[in-house]
Structure 1
């Protein structure tokens, strides 16, 4: 999702002191991880209970990083992309059987990672250039030492004053969905276009926003199994997406300063704000948009 204006190549803040190991100062160091043999449903339940969008996968004994499972991997598995073959082909559509496969079958192996002596600017560069929401940090032996996310970086950068407004950085060309769109269609769109969220619009009115986390929670809370009668995943993925949407909807305006938008996201623990003007949806500003904007100044 591109911002409204193209500012050319990324130029990172010159005032960030580039010291080795500084990324650990903003990273989470007490990291929860799961072994590759843990079941998909157990890993997704952990992500749901802890409010994580990503979960490192490490060897049980050594804690060496083997992969990472994200909310994107989960919706891919549930019907969004190639990982859905695990359900459709290997288990003939039987979701209850497929979720007991080991998490290594859907994780992203050999993920982008940072060394423990990395600088904050190194994290910024990977997050912005690779469009990655979180990066595991490993020591010299490849053992998981921490994880840094775009929210950690945003928390640091948001303290800096910026002259920019939401309209300068928001995504104004949006892909949306309708309240009655099947969940399967939404997972396919998210996977194909690499979106973490889609505005839900009905008759040109913003109905809400659906996120990859909302869909992952559908599986992690086991609500999906309560709705199963035939056992086939197609049955529950045909339900309208409005059944999974969170109740609260927070929005912003194009003239809102980006610092204020960043504080709103951090305080409410949300990853995006729909942008409203004259009661119409005109854009979406995300954590990624803000991190990129702050880093480009």
Structure 2
């Protein structure tokens, strides 16, 4: 996960005690369990030598934001995420590989091995560790997912930020939406896709808002939508000369989703989180008494509200 948004959101929480040790909300200790009961067993993975397109296709088919990278008999090599994919396809520094090594040619670039874009020294946790250990590692390493390993470094599964939010969710948190929302991050619907990809990588978000030429919010650009574009092979219909820039030049409106939801600033975060799960949202807008949009809430915010003392 990129650090900009994460760092700005963690500042309002009492994450470290005066002695430097992590501080967690009481709900973390109420549900404390070992990872064998919390983590998802590995269902889908890729190898270091798998083509990048294979990883994208699996993310799309299995609706996964992260894939474990394995070698040999279930041995852990690293992690590849939708953010790594978007970084490589045009959003970040990995895009230099596409241009320098592959001359921007889309089929050659998508045939690059996963090991080129994966997180090679990915943080992980062992299966006997407890929930506070997991939360601490996620925050320190600025990641939304952690591989779960046996002591011999073979893989048991993975635990995600979303899993923890679901585990800790309560109807009432005592925190209002307006207290923790952040400024709305958006792009224009007519901007080329690469502009949205760069914004996703720069902010470390997996969903940003899309505005029209009248500055009205009309939808979202999600990491999953970009994965779907390539994983479904729909991207190839835009390719006439064989270059990735042909896809990256399409307007964001051709890839955006129209799933906008709003909550009033006085609504408890418990209700906000419930809505996000029920409607499969990555972000919601927060409004004031005049129905004006004043901010946005992401799953990062839900994670911090539930896991840390405010």
TM-score for the superposition, normalised by structure 1:
0.92
Alignment-derived partner of residue 260 in structure 1? 271
Bigger mean CA deviation after superposition, 32-41 or 123-132:
123-132
Alignment-derived partner of residue 31 in structure 1? 43
Using the TM superposition, give the Cα deviation of residue 167 of structure 1 relative to its aligned residue in structure 2, in angstroms.
Answer: 1.0
Q: 1:248 to 1:161 in 2, by over 3 A?
A: closer
Alignment-derived partner of residue 194 in structure 1? 204
Alignment-derived partner of residue 42 in structure 1? 54
Alignment-derived partner of residue 7 in structure 1? 13
Using the TM superposition, give the Cα deviation of residue 4 of structure 1 relative to its aligned residue in structure 2, in angstroms.
Answer: 10
Which SS does the other structure have where 2:40 is aligned?
Answer: coil
Q: How does 1:202-213 map to 2 (within 5 A)?
A: 202=212, 203-213=214-224
1:113 equivalent to 2:119? Answer no
CA distance in 2, matches of 1:5, 1:112: 22
Q: State the number of aligned residues.
A: 295
Q: 1:279 to 1:230 in 2, by over 3 A?
A: farther
Alignment-derived partner of residue 57 in structure 1? 69
Q: How does 1:1-297 map to 2 (within 5 A)?
A: 1=5, 2-3=8-9, 6-10=12-16, 11-14=23-26, 16-17=28-29, 22-59=34-71, 61-159=72-170, 161-171=172-182, 173-202=183-212, 203-277=214-288, 278-297=290-309
Using the TM superposition, give the Cα deviation of residue 114 of structure 1 relative to its aligned residue in structure 2, in angstroms.
Answer: 0.7
Which SS does the other structure have where 1:219 is aligned?
Answer: helix
TM-score for the superposition, normalised by structure 2:
0.89
Q: 1:198 to 1:258 in 2, by over 3 A?
A: same
| 8 Å CA contact 2:78, 2:118 repeated in 1 | yes
Alignment-derived partner of residue 20 in structure 2? none
Bigger mean CA deviation after superposition, 83-92 or 274-283:
274-283
Using the TM superposition, give the Cα deviation of residue 39 of structure 1 relative to its aligned residue in structure 2, in angstroms.
Answer: 1.0
Is there any run of 5+ residues in structure 2 with no aligned partner, and where?
17-22
Q: 1:283 to 1:91 in 2, by over 3 A?
A: same
Which SS does the other structure have where 2:12 is aligned?
Answer: coil
| 8 Å CA contact 1:128, 1:292 repeated in 2 | no
Bigger mean CA deviation after superposition, 243-252 or 67-76:
243-252
